[in-house]
């Protein structure tokens, strides 16, 4: 091959490379989500990243804490709350993109135990104080965090709250309450059914009857400040068949 031919081939190769579109840069999706979603949402986020290359960063906490952070300017693109109230608070501030809010999931409230705690029938006749003995009942913050609010509502409706209120150990979020029981620091706790399924160190010993607490609904929203196409893509992925299967496998009820 002559030097002239070699130069022409190099020039052609450079021309072709210049005309080839480079892959789009990976974007970051920032999600603020209720702590009870961690197991399922981590898996969904990992699948999304593997399929698209976009990175998903998730901040988990009580819905009340996350909503307040968003209202104060927290850099979230998507918010998933464990109850409607805190999503409404964000919406009142005009922080939800128009038409980009949906009720995503439902859940159930359960009583969990550590070790060989016996199964119980939860109702007005339950001797919950007797089951606790000198121990504590682990719950999320009963006046602020949805899981704690649901739990207090259920105990109040069943006439059990006054008998155990002094023994409640309040945690910052439902996963922290779960951890207290898993570690044996509290013999019993009230969490969502999906949380109980996420930790092999606890077992469900009773399910609170429907009607003893408000319906547990997880609304999801794309926030008004979300700028990237990846943000909307992940929001839509939360309602995909694949995401539904992952959520259902963790015990969530699918509402979308």
Single pTM value for the model: 0.81
CA nearest 230: which of 23, 25, 22? 25
Q: Which CATH architecture has domain 28-105+217-254?
A: 3-Layer(aba) Sandwich (3.40)
Contact 169, 138 (CB under 8 A): yes
H or E element at residue 11:
helix 3-18
Which portions of the chain are predicted below pLDDT 50?
1-23
Q: What is the pLDDT of residues 200-250, one digit of tens each?
A: 999 999 999 999 999 999 999 999 999 899 999 999 999 999 999 999 999
Domain 109-207, CATH among 3.40.50.300, 3.10.450.50, 3.90.420.10, 3.40.190.10: 3.40.190.10
pLDDT of residue 24: 54
Q: How many CB atoms lie within 10 A of CB 213?
A: 21
Under a CB-based contact definition with an 8 Å cutoff, are residues 54 and 233 in contact?
yes
- Examine domains 28-105+217-254 and 109-207 and report if their fold is the same: yes
């Amino acid at each position: 091959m002559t030097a002239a031919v070699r130069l022409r081939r190099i020039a052609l190769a450079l021309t072709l490379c210049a005309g080839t579109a480079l892959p789009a840069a990976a974007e970051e999706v920032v999600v603020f989500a209720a702590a009870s979603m961690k197991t399922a949402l981590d898996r969904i986020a990992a699948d999304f990243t593997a399929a698209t290359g976009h990175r998903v960063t998730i901040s988990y906490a009580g819905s009340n804490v996350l909503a307040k952070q968003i209202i104060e300017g927290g850099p979230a693109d998507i918010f998933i709350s464990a109850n409607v109230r805190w999503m409404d608070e964000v919406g009142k501030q005009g922080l939800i993109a128009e038409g980009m809010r949906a009720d995503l999931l439902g859940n159930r409230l359960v009583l969990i135990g550590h070790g060989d705690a016996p199964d119980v029938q939860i109702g007005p006749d339950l001797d919950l104080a007797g089951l606790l003995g000198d121990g504590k009942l682990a719950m999320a913050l009963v006046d602020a965090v949805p899981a704690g609010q649901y739990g207090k509502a259920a105990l109040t409706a069943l006439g059990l709250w006054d008998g155990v209120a002094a023994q409640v150990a309040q945690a910052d979020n439902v996963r922290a309450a779960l951890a207290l029981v898993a570690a044996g620091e509290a013999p019993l706790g009230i969490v969502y059914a999906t949380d109980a399924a996420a930790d092999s160190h606890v077992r469900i010993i009773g399910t609170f009857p429907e009607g003893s607490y408000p319906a547990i609904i997880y609304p999801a929203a794309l926030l008004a400040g979300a700028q990237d196409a990846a943000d909307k893509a992940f929001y839509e992925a939360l309602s995909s068949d694949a995401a539904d299967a992952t959520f259902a496998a963790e015990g969530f009820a699918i509402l979308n």
